[in-house]
A and B are shown apart, each in its own frame.
Chain A
Amino acid sequence: DIVMTQAAFSNPVTLGTSASISCRSSKNLLHSNGITYLYWYLQRPGQSPQLLIYRVSNLASGVPNRFSGSESGTDFTLRISRVEAEDVGVYYCAQLLELPFTFGSGTKLEIK
């Protein structure tokens, strides 16, 4: 199985500043069709996960452009510019390249 590795907590950030959340996969997520199957989800407290970013860097519908995603090999980064209170929650990366689909253990965004 592909292992997705995330830190349990982010570096504490102040509202209005930027935050980065990292994810590392145990295998290259690039398919032979040229698509990298890496996704980001946010689970706010007491809520279901919601899709933020699909295929590394594409914003899901309704997601503010304060969110962005990037990759460097098997390392993936979710960036949040101008963090807002509603961004609090646990961020999960997920790979949908091969079965079984696997999620990272989640990174909790810490606010100072």
Chain B
Amino acid sequence: QVTLKESGPGILQPSQTLSLTCSFSGFSLSTSGMGVGWIRQPSGKGLEWLAHIWWDDDKRYNPALKSRLTISKDTSSNQVFLKIASVDTADTATYYCARMMDPYAMDYWGQGTSVTVSS
């Protein structure tokens, strides 16, 4: 059974660094072809893909945010991390992580973690 769960700070101030963790079970990032991605959704709005990381540590970022994003993984603990530097109010959103596996792409999603950027 594949499950993913996101965790984050809930609220942070502008200019701080947002640190998110995706803890998963039911699959391994040591398996060829497996990956985990991050997607966010401002309240009442659509979905925006942010980044993903593959089993071989290949990392891809949304160019619009690339300078602020850092994705990493800890295969042994089944976790993927995303850091977003210099946040502002536009980064307020629910952040989801999702398993990525060809050909299903983002086939399992976590419940999401809400992040508010406010002074």
Using CB atoms and an 8 Å cutoff, list the residues of chain A in contact with chain B: 35, 37, 39, 41, 48-51, 54-55, 58, 60-61, 92, 94, 96, 99-106
Contact = CB atoms under 8 A, between A and B. Distances in A.
A35 to B, nearest CB: 8
A42 B29 CA distance: 26
A96 B47 contact: no
A48 B49 contact: no
Interface in B82-119: 96, 103-112
B34 to A, nearest CB: 15
A39 B39 CA distance: 15
A104 B49 contact: no
A101 B39 CA distance: 10
Q: What is the interface residue range for chain B against chain A?
A: 20 to 34
Given A54-B103, A99-B60, A100-B63, A48 B109 contact: yes
Interface in B41-56: 46-49
A48 B110 contact: yes
Interface of B: 39, 46-49, 60, 62-64, 96, 103-112
B48 A103 contact: yes
A102 B47 CA distance: 8
Nearest to B50: A100
Nearest to A104: B46
Contacts of A60: 104, 107
Nearest to B65: A100
A48 B112 contact: yes
Nearest to A99: B60
Contacts of A55: 103
Contact of A103 (B49, B60, B110, B112): B49
B63 A51 contact: no
A101 B49 contact: yes
Given A49-B109, A101-B49, 7 more contacts: A35-B103, A48-B96, A48-B110, A49-B39, A100-B63, A103-B47, A104-B46
B46 A105 contact: yes
B103 A58 contact: yes
